[in-house]
Structure 1
């Protein structure tokens, strides 16, 4: 690994965007290196839900969706100026990216998941796609433990892998949920050979399934992956084109030349407090993010800005409500828990610190976060807000990391949680006093919610008024599955932070994924994809998978542009001949 080494393409970051850029570039016959600063590869994508939002995908011969319908929907929900050519490129190229994934052998299935603005023109319920469970040991026993492992919150009892169907079955205690638990446990304990290798479940689900499938193909095509290798700076030639990058491996710095392109795919800046303070109207704390701790610190954005790159949409995050609790058996350390769907369950409501509702709690998690920001700017009394619920809710539903009563009764809740991480009282008035919310205001908010539950209609915010809201309600609650009375003592409250799934803004790019300078001119040989780049959707979150869909698509687009510039148009058969060598992971 001398200073003279070079590759056709160097990819910074090993998440979905980087993996796709590497896979496509290698398929086009280019030599590729992925550098990843963390000890585990797979990025934030590997610990995500693994959903891809792909309009007009045509899976299973479905021709119901169209380019025009997708653009109509996106134009109806985006409220800030965006690059129209880049938005259209996403709609046009995402189906081609998906076709490439399928041709490469990655299985993809469509789900019934409503777009997050289901009442807008062009909305559908089939644009969110998933990859089925992947056998991690297909990567090899020395490789599969090196992929970033799912959070405890996505595993049963912090140990056993669950796919999305199993997750939602247990989350709702749907019919047959006990059988689902039994099957999950049986699968794991009967897999004795894997437990000889390590404790990790061989079943890669959700984001791990997606990344496992892609990396099996990436490594088979001879792509080299170096972990513990962080970007320090980008280097340019006399013409201002990016020609190399300096990296750091445990303090040892060296230079890698990139003959045809560098693809920045290293995630956003949500773990950089200085950048949050610079860009966000309500900065929040890095610790409230639900992405891997201290991972996405904006190094690629900073390196890009140093050579003249511009940014866009940096005031926005991919918001999601979160809460924190002590880690099991390590109470001085904390885990962040998502509460995306918990905040909209019946028998609960959310109030700001004045005791006043401010949002349709069952709305999409990104819109929930936007409402928190807007309310805080207006009142100064949000971020955090409070999720308030009663014993009926507590019996059945989780509240972030607080499992339902059937799994974690109050008697088993650690004593140091009460009055610090969660609160309980026999009356709403006592609860209000504990959380320092005006008693009258909270009682009035609850009384109004109880009236809405009885009528089945929420005239304040429309909770439960569309298909997305109702998807995560309780079908056993009538007349509105999202509205239930908050009436049964004891009453509970947990603080809800404005967390995130990453940042929406980043380096400004064009429709070919090229990074642009302040004048809108592409910086030679420099590309960005994923949360390194500004979202093509501006300020909105169209549907489940709207982070990974563009990440994959613009990683694909970047690789195509690099290959075309390099004059490499190798046939698919020729690529296959070149890709017989196994890839490797190098520390």
Structure 2
């Protein structure tokens, strides 16, 4: 008779669970420290949610800021993140992050994944003490996929269609901003992107995927290349089943491989970096605000079901921040396997977001987590904000992309897919006709549009101060005066898209210390168990201090975890800040 006992395999120094940014950075750092490493990934593709992301990292006082003429300090960053965290992350962990992030970013460059700062991209809460109007968010430099190779590129999870031009061509954050803000150079930028892609015929004969990797593809393409250069073993289609403990210490894992349970020994430790639980409907209903639906998330289907979080909890780990997520409004697009996140289009002038009463209830240009939270709050009050509707007119439609809709100057309505009408977008010749189609109060919608017209003329949003800070204005249209985020909604036909309170991951998970060690109820660390990324409770608490607040900490704490695991824990430098 076959035995249910797991088959034992050779031991490694470190076993990494997951293949996102934090997981692979940890694996590479461990290999550079002389450890033998095995990476196990549940999915058949590498990269997790990181591969779908914009690839940005939030790095205070980073090495590239002086080039842009910017200055920062650890004490300012510490004050800012501490305020954002609202007491839901320990001060020493916050300090560990803001001190380590810049060293980790330098290490990324050393292993072939260089970043550059975004001088004008503001922190998300410009009014808070210690915030900066730009420079802390860093964007990955474009990565040549030829360094990875066509075969290995096929194992990297592709990005979202919305992050490619015409679903094919890569675009980095600087280029995206130029086009959305309708800068003078934007037409030339687009021409260059298209010419480069179509003239690269030798590469396109090999694969339909762009040679030029940008955003999360550049980050993960670079990390996967570095992983392969170090001959680190990577097992795909290998889900975690449980952790192995001996005398309270985690000494390995049990995984499923080729239909069998396999027990793997880890001499130094196990690093969990397998994402959050946003694809687990039962856990969502147990922990997250209601209503909640796993279909609304923008993360990979089949992944991020909380397996590693539950395994860590079974091993004695404490759960923290489980009611929080990295919220973002999302929309449904047929034939796409997941909802599409709407990060920036809502900042453009000439659109507004309303509830079933036709009333605005938020600053459309504000940080996306606050957008999601405002949807929940207004829905509790009115019952009409889930879903909400983003409404715009013919002028907006002609100028700007939104969701899967390219500007009508490039893609007029008669060239849109017929199946999208009344599914992806709704259209009415008048606001009243549109309101009736989407089930919104016509009088309320008309009043909101009229009030928006008044705000556009004066440049001041008296209700929500849209465009009143540097973050809002970053993705506005600089040619629109006096406020780049405000324009009338007056010219028919009128359009609407349906928005859900989605997310790009959950924030809650295993509580860790400043070295990414998983903590027990008594505050003591579980020996041999480390955890990073959305697998762990966020160091940012309930907030989102700036673009890159997920990937930055994931990799910085992986960097610290390996230092601790190899007997060289990183001491805090500015301990005076902990007692200020």
TM category (shorter chain) comes to: over 0.9
Q: Which residue of 1 aligns with 2:340?
A: 337
Rate the CA distance shift 1:92–1:496 in 2: closer, same or farther, 3 A.
same
Rate the CA distance shift 1:223–1:490 in 2: closer, same or farther, 3 A.
same
Deviates most, 262-271 or 70-79: 70-79
Task: Write out per-residue CA displacement over residues 433-455 of structure 1, whole angstroms, 9 at most, x where no aligned residue.
Answer: 11111122222222221111111
Tell me if the contact between 1:108 and 1:130 (Cα under 8 Å) persists in the aligned partners. yes
Rate the CA distance shift 1:140–1:551 in 2: closer, same or farther, 3 A.
same
Q: Which residue of 1 aligns with 2:99?
A: 92
Q: Which residue of 2 aligns with 1:101?
A: 108
Q: Secondary structure at the match of 2:421?
A: coil
Q: Distance in 2 between matches of 1:59 and 1:173?
A: 26
Q: Which residue of 2 aligns with 1:42?
A: 47
Deviates most, 134-143 or 528-537: 134-143
Q: Distance in 2 between matches of 1:50 and 1:282?
A: 29
Q: Which residue of 1 aligns with 2:9?
A: 4
Task: Write out per-residue CA displacement over residues 545-572 of structure 1, whole angstroms, 9 at most, x where no aligned residue.
Answer: 1111001101111111111179xxxxxx
Q: Distance in 2 between matches of 1:295 and 1:106?
A: 25
Tell me if the contact between 1:282 and 1:377 (Cα under 8 Å) persists in the aligned partners. no
Rate the CA distance shift 1:75–1:565 in 2: closer, same or farther, 3 A.
closer
Q: Which residue of 2 aligns with 1:468?
A: 471
Rate the CA distance shift 1:174–1:336 in 2: closer, same or farther, 3 A.
farther
Q: Which residue of 2 aligns with 1:415?
A: 418
Q: Which residue of 2 aligns with 1:23?
A: 28
Q: How does 1:495-506 map to 2 (within 5 A)?
A: 495-506=498-509
Q: Which residue of 2 aligns with 1:576?
A: none
Tell me if the contact between 1:172 and 1:397 (Cα under 8 Å) persists in the aligned partners. no
Tell me if the contact between 2:65 and 2:71 (Cα under 8 Å) persists in the aligned partners. no
Which one of the candidate residues 417, 432, 455 is aligned to 1:429? 432
Which one of the candidate residues 298, 307, 327 is aligned to 1:290? 298
The alignment status of 1:267 with 2:272, answered yes or no, reads no
Q: Which residue of 2 aligns with 1:582?
A: none
Tell me if the contact between 2:139 and 2:173 (Cα under 8 Å) persists in the aligned partners. no
Tell me if the contact between 2:238 and 2:257 (Cα under 8 Å) persists in the aligned partners. yes
Q: Distance in 2 between matches of 1:384 and 1:266?
A: 30
Q: Secondary structure at the match of 1:96?
A: helix
Q: Distance in 2 between matches of 1:390 and 1:379?
A: 25
The alignment status of 1:162 with 2:171, answered yes or no, reads yes
Task: Write out per-residue CA displacement over residues 24-64 of structure 1, whole angstroms, 9 at most, x where no aligned residue.
Answer: 11111111111111111122112211111011223364772
Deviates most, 417-426 or 352-361: 417-426
The alignment status of 1:206 with 2:215, answered yes or no, reads yes
Task: Write out per-residue CA displacement over residues 259-293 of structure 1, whole angstroms, 9 at most, x where no aligned residue.
Answer: 11000000111111111111112242112111122
Which one of the candidate residues 309, 315, 323 is aligned to 2:317? 309
Q: TM-score, normalised by structure 2?
A: 0.93
Q: Which residue of 2 aligns with 1:529?
A: 532
Q: Secondary structure at the match of 1:554?
A: helix
Tell me if the contact between 2:74 and 2:98 (Cα under 8 Å) persists in the aligned partners. yes
Tell me if the contact between 2:82 and 2:94 (Cα under 8 Å) persists in the aligned partners. no
Which one of the candidate residues 70, 73, 90 is aligned to 2:80? 73
Q: Which residue of 1 aligns with 2:160?
A: 151
Task: Write out per-residue CA displacement over residues 466-507 of structure 1, whole angstroms, 9 at most, x where no aligned residue.
Answer: 011111111121111111111111111111111211111111
Q: Which residue of 2 aligns with 1:121?
A: 129
Q: Which residue of 1 aligns with 2:56?
A: 51
Which one of the candidate residues 248, 256, 266 is aligned to 2:256? 248
Q: 1:115, CA displacement in angstroms?
A: 0.5
Structure 1 runs not aligned, ≥5 long: 328-332, 567-587
The alignment status of 1:364 with 2:373, answered yes or no, reads no
Tell me if the contact between 2:150 and 2:207 (Cα under 8 Å) persists in the aligned partners. no
Deviates most, 527-536 or 392-401: 392-401
RMSD: 1.9
Q: 1:523, CA displacement in angstroms?
A: 1.2
Q: 1:170, CA displacement in angstroms?
A: 3.4
Q: Secondary structure at the match of 1:497?
A: strand
Q: Which residue of 2 aligns with 1:583?
A: none
Say how many residue pairs are matched.
560
Q: 1:80, CA displacement in angstroms?
A: 4.8
Q: Which residue of 2 aligns with 1:584?
A: none
Which one of the candidate residues 215, 238, 263 is aligned to 2:224? 215
Q: Which residue of 1 aligns with 2:577?
A: none
Q: Distance in 2 between matches of 1:259 and 1:283?
A: 44
Q: 1:378, CA displacement in angstroms?
A: 2.6
Q: Distance in 1 between matches of 2:528 and 2:568?
A: 9
Q: Distance in 1 between matches of 2:463 and 2:449?
A: 13
Q: How does 1:487-566 map to 2 (within 5 A)?
A: 487-564=490-567
Q: 1:173, CA displacement in angstroms?
A: 4.2
Q: 1:185, CA displacement in angstroms?
A: 2.6
